Amino acid sequence: MRILVVNPNTTASMTAKIAAAARSVAAPGTTIIAAQPDEGPVSIEGYFDEALSVPGMLEEIAREDGEDLAGHVIACFDDTGLDAARSLARAPVVGIGEAAYHMASLVAGRFSVVTTLSRSIPALEHNLHRYGLASRCGRVRAAEVPVLALEDPHSAARDRVSSEIDRAIREDRAEAIVLGCAGMADLARSLSGEHGLPVIEGVSAAVKLIENLATLGLSTSKVGGWATPRRKPLSGRYAVFSGLGGA
């Protein structure tokens, strides 16, 4: 099967890291296609960046969506544009935030989230309530690490994330940790060994969920809010979407 993994920001090194994480867990016979928009923010740090990243991300999804694609992974922990993507795509769409939260709920009674910057906390707390998992989360914490610092091996980013995990274990009574950024995808295994508890990153979780949805023959319901968009004229840069949708 083929799975599209979309990094909604435009940083190629992060896309490569995300693709490596996805391929490391993909089943034999699963092909991972990694993509990123040509336009948009270099990182997503808050609501403004998130809004600017959605059109380019949707273009990538529209380009690959088809009968031979098993599903799409949105590789931003905010689950950027998830509802719009599920409306647009024929294949299932899984956000790495939702995937990681659900995986954590299966292996721990209580988990905490460690993300990058404090400005991301409200969006993640909102999503936890939306997904019905807020009561299982001890706290959403920020390591105060800019997203692009995760791309710099000489930065103190990993140490800051590790320190925040230690505080979550002591102060939140966390039994598992969810890493709240796709740029942390390469840290999960080493941090799990270091702290002695499950550390979940969403890229791997989302890939495995897409594989299982495909095996079960399940796709997004088009009855209700995720119905296929109505076809209508769109202007400017959005004209690319004018031919998409249903009646």
Question: What is the CATH number assigned to the segment(s) 2-96+204-241?
Answer: 3.40.50.12500
Pinpoint the alpha helices (H) of 65-175.
82-88, 96-107, 121-130, 157-171
Residue 161's pLDDT band (boundaries 50, 70, 90)?
very high
pLDDT grade for 155, boundaries at 50, 70 and 90: very high
The structure's pTM equals: 0.94
- Assign 98 to helix, strand or coil: helix
Q: What pLDDT sits at residue 239?
A: 86
Q: Which fold has domain 100-201?
A: Rossmann fold (3.40.50)
Beta-carbon neighbour count of residue 20 at 10 Å? Answer: 14
Residue 34 — pLDDT band, cuts 50, 70, 90? very high
Do the domains at 2-96+204-241 and 100-201 have one common CATH topology?
Answer: yes
Please report the pLDDT score of residue 22 as a whole number. Answer: 97
- Domain ranges in the chain are 2-96+204-241, 100-201
pLDDT band at 127 (very low <50, low <70, confident <90, very high): very high
Question: Rounded to the nearest 5°, which phi and psi values hold at 60?
Answer: -65, -40
**Mean pLDDT score of the chain:** 95
For position 246, what pLDDT does the model report? 65
The answer on pLDDT for 208 being more than 70 is yes
Q: Is pLDDT above 70 for 47?
A: yes
